[in-house]
A and B are shown apart, each in its own frame.
Chain A
């Protein structure tokens, strides 16, 4: 197989990896705009539990998702490693709070396994695949599916 065929059949994608609790997750680099240190998050009254609040990003209001709550993880004190990853999903710019951001990894299509449909539907919905790496399993998150359509609509109207 020539190199170009290889590139066509087995494309390489880049993923920004972050930690939440004991797992490493990856999100497509094309959807990541920037990574911020922890900043003041203002609570939004009446917001659903998956919304942490809003931040002022250079004059724009960005809603920050409580990723831990969405992933059914216990709350965690923020610290020096805490980051807010600004992503674009469902045509919105949103922030997701993570324990820490690790690196950017390159994955060939062949390295990505479609996630087995285990666990409750809630969490398998937004896992688009997994990749086995030397340092453990990398869970690839489909950001668009982090929230349901209705939830995105609600999120948009914070």
Chain B
């Protein structure tokens, strides 16, 4: 089998897996609603899984996302991020505004693209919503994550304005959102006990916890995207 064939085969396989996850999720839905009526939004779930399938062809990371997404939805919101004890999860560290090291679970990323500066500003939105960028024919909402996570009145805010240099876009939510970052860091393979998980998430729900050794703030991608969607009520143009 040639490499091309293998690739094609792998794609088909991924497609199958994703489809199964999708159907399973649909079957599971009524039960899930019963368990967590306030957290499960069936429509959103379908949409999310549907995009996951679509992008599957592009990146194998997606299968993992689709699987975890369907199993996580049944959990309580506090447990959304915390992996099973002993399970090793990969996290990507990245730097914003020159001083803040954030991290995301690698499997929640849909890709990383170089920042080329060709952005279409959309006026009348929050200052952390920079505008739209076109990536592979899709419109990506570009988020200045440093501005999002550091309150306007905070003393480090000035550094955010001065130090930030856009180098990369981290794509999340099936490529709908792109988070600008200065610098990509290392990828860490960590078990859950290397992270201090926050138990009280009433404030800053997007902050899942802290990677202890690197003292890096770990993003809860799901909650983060939820908040972005609330505040960027643009029609999905993609």
Interface secondary structure of A, over-half rule: loop
Q: Is the CB of A45 within 8 A of B196?
A: no
Q: How far is the CB of A124 from chain B (nearest CB, A)?
A: 25
Which residue of B153, B200, B217 is within 8 Å of A45 (Cβ)? Answer: B217
* Residue in B99, B202, B210 with the greatest tally of chain A CB atoms within 10 Å: B210
Size bin of chain B's contact surface: 20 to 34
Q: Is the CB of B149 within 8 A of A45?
A: yes
Q: Which chain A residues (133-156) contact chain B, with CB distance < 8 Å?
A: 153-154, 156
Q: Is the CB of A157 within 8 A of B203?
A: yes
Q: Chain A 48-75 against B: per-residue CB contact (8 Å), 1 yes, 0 no?
A: 1100011110011100000000000001
Give Cα distance in the complex from A61 to B207, angstroms: 15
Q: Is the CB of B198 within 8 A of A157?
A: yes
Which residue of B99, B100, B154, B215 is within 8 Å of A54 (Cβ)? Answer: B215
Give Cα distance in the complex from A87 to B215, angstroms: 20
Give Cα distance in the complex from A54 to B99, angstroms: 13
Give Cα distance in the complex from A152 to B201, angstroms: 14
B236 at the interface (CB under 8 A from A): no
Size bin of chain A's contact surface: 20 to 34
Residues of chain A contacted by B149 (CB below 8 angstroms): 45-46
Q: Chain B 66-102 against A: per-residue CB contact (8 Å), 1 yes, 0 no?
A: 0000000000000000000000000000000001111
Residues of chain B contacted by A54 (CB below 8 angstroms): 210, 215
Name which residue of chain B comes closest to A55, CB basis: B215
Residues of chain A contacted by B46 (CB below 8 angstroms): none
Q: Is the CB of A49 within 8 A of B155?
A: yes
Given contacts A61-B210, A154-B203, contact A45 B100 (CB under 8 A): yes
B190 at the interface (CB under 8 A from A): no
Residues of chain A contacted by B216 (CB below 8 angstroms): 42
Give Cα distance in the complex from A66 to B173, angstroms: 36
Q: Which chain B residues (167-206) contact chain A, with CB distance < 8 Å?
A: 196, 198-204
Which residue of B101, B199, B215 is within 8 Å of A157 (Cβ)? Answer: B199
* Residue in A55, A75, A158 with the greatest tally of chain B CB atoms within 10 Å: A158
Given contacts A56-B212, A61-B212, A75-B155, contact A46 B196 (CB under 8 A): no
Residues of chain A contacted by B204 (CB below 8 angstroms): 45-46
Residues of chain B contacted by A156 (CB below 8 angstroms): 200
Give Cα distance in the complex from A33 to B207, angstroms: 28
B150 at the interface (CB under 8 A from A): yes
B137 at the interface (CB under 8 A from A): no
Which residue of A48, A49, A61, A75 is within 8 Å of B215 (Cβ)? Answer: A61
Q: Is the CB of A46 within 8 A of B151?
A: yes
Which residue of A43, A47, A61, A153 is within 8 Å of B99 (Cβ)? Answer: A43
Name which residue of chain A comes closest to B213, CB basis: A56
Give Cα distance in the complex from A54 to B218, angstroms: 13
Given contacts A42-B216, A54-B215, A61-B215, contact A157 B153 (CB under 8 A): no
Give Cα distance in the complex from A61 to B198, angstroms: 11
Which residue of A43, A56, A59 is within 8 Å of B100 (Cβ)? Answer: A43
What would be 9 A-B contacts, judged by CB atoms less than 8 Å apart? A42-B215, A42-B216, A45-B102, A45-B204, A46-B203, A54-B210, A56-B212, A61-B196, A75-B155
Residues of B within 8 A of A (CB): 99-102, 149-151, 153-156, 196, 198-204, 207, 210, 212-213, 215-217
Residues of A within 8 A of B (CB): 40, 42-49, 53-56, 59-61, 75, 153-154, 156-158
Question: Ordered nearest first, which 4 A-B pairs have the shortest CB separation?
Answer: A42-B215, A45-B149, A157-B200, A46-B204
